[in-house]
């Protein structure tokens, strides 16, 4: 049976890292391309805030062909789909058959992704789907991956910014925070682990609080960001 020629959506964080790890070790899957989206204005990964320079350092140690797709600041859904679907069609036309994601349990997000892929003629792959998030984070740590918190919502707060994911981090998390931040509580930058040929060097900079309009158009929501320096 031919292997699934797969586009992997690389976000630079822990879920991407462990999902890629499992994809690489799946005998039915061949990861042939990494696809990363960034904000064209700031040259950073959306919501993570990771600078493109550090993403490129990660990718260089993964030794997988890649592309960086730029999105405008606050794109409409139509603009977003046009850009992403256009890139996926381009990759399908050179032999890709599947697209893989690091989503864990957000069913509406999975449904959306699968609907978009169906339009294009690609199949989906979710290597860590429905995993227990606390056990998944423990596995991430025990496998030797390393990551730090680079963004956190108001619920988690500034005090967790810049913290490395370790077993003490799991113990310190409030009960209402998902251990993998799957509800958007936090995002990470993964800088070491078994998928990388060497650790990614970086330094930490200042912490910043930013506001964003709520999707329903009422009020704002706030996120803290830990800047990373190259």
Q: Are residues 201 and 115 in the same domain?
A: no
The pair of three-digit structure tokens given for residue 104, joined into one six-digit string: 């864990």
Residue 216 class from Cβ within 10 Å (0-12 exposed, 13-18 middle, 19+ buried)? exposed
Q: Are residues 86 and 177 in the same domain?
A: no
Residue 217 confidence (pLDDT) = 67
Query: What is the reported pLDDT for 51?
Result: 95
Q: Which residues contact 130 (CB under 8 A, 6 or more apart)?
A: 104, 105
Q: At what angle do helices 77-92 and 107-120 cross, to 10 degrees?
A: 50
pLDDT of residue 2: 86
CA geometry: angle 213, 218, 222, nearest 5 deg: 40
- From 104, 208, 204, select the one nearest 152 (Cα to Cα): 208
Number of structural domains (the chain) is: 2
Query: CA-to-CA distance for 3 and 186, rounded, in angstroms?
Result: 34
Structure tokens at 23: 């994809």
56 and 16 in a common domain: yes
Q: What is the pLDDT of residue 221?
A: 82
Q: Is the CB of residue 200 less than 8 Å from the CB of residue 59?
A: no
The parent domain of residue 210 ranges over 133-229
What's 197's DSSP letter? S
Low-confidence ranges of the chain (pLDDT < 50): none
121 and 139 part of one domain: no
Residue among 99, 10, 101 nearest 54 (CA):
10
Environment class of 68 (CB within 10 Å of its CB; exposed 0-12, middle 13-18, buried 19+):
middle
Whether the CB-CB separation of 228 and 51 falls below 8 Å is answered with yes
CATH number at residue 17: 3.40.50.620
Nearest to 177 by CA among 185, 188, 167: 185
Pair (158, 62) in one structural domain: no
3-state secondary structure of 220: strand
Of 127, 125, 12, the C-alpha closest to 68 is 12
**pLDDT at residue 216, as a whole number:** 67
pLDDT at 48: 83
87 shares a domain with 193: no
How high is the pLDDT of residue 117?
Answer: 98
119 shares a domain with 77: yes
Tokens found for residue 57:
């350092």
């Amino acid at each position: 049976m031919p292997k699934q020629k797969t586009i992997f959506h690389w976000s630079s964080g822990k879920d991407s890292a462990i999902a890629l790890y499992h994809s690489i070790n799946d005998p039915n899957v061949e990861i042939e391309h990494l696809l990363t989206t960034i904000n064209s204005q700031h040259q950073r990964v959306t919501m993570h805030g990771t600078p493109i320079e550090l993403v490129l350092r990660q990718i260089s140690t993964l030794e997988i062909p890649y592309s960086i797709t730029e999105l405008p600041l606050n794109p409409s859904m139509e603009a977003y789909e046009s850009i992403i679907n256009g890139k996926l069609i381009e990759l399908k036309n050179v032999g890709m058959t599947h697209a893989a994601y690091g989503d864990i349990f957000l069913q509406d997000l999975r449904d959306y992704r699968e609907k978009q892929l169906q339009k294009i003629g690609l199949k989906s792959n979710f290597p860590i789907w429905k995993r227990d998030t606390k056990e998944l984070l423990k596995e991430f740590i025990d496998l030797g991956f390393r990551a730090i918190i680079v963004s956190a919502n108001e619920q988690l707060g500034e005090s967790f910014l810049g913290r490395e994911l370790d077993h003490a981090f799991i113990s310190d998390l409030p009960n209402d925070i998902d251990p993998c931040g799957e509800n958007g509580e936090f995002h990470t930058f993964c800088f070491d682990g078994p998928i990388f040929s060497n650790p990614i060097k970086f330094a930490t900079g200042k912490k910043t609080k930013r506001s964003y309009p709520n999707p329903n158009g009422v009020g704002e929501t706030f996120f803290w960001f830990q800047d990373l320096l190259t």
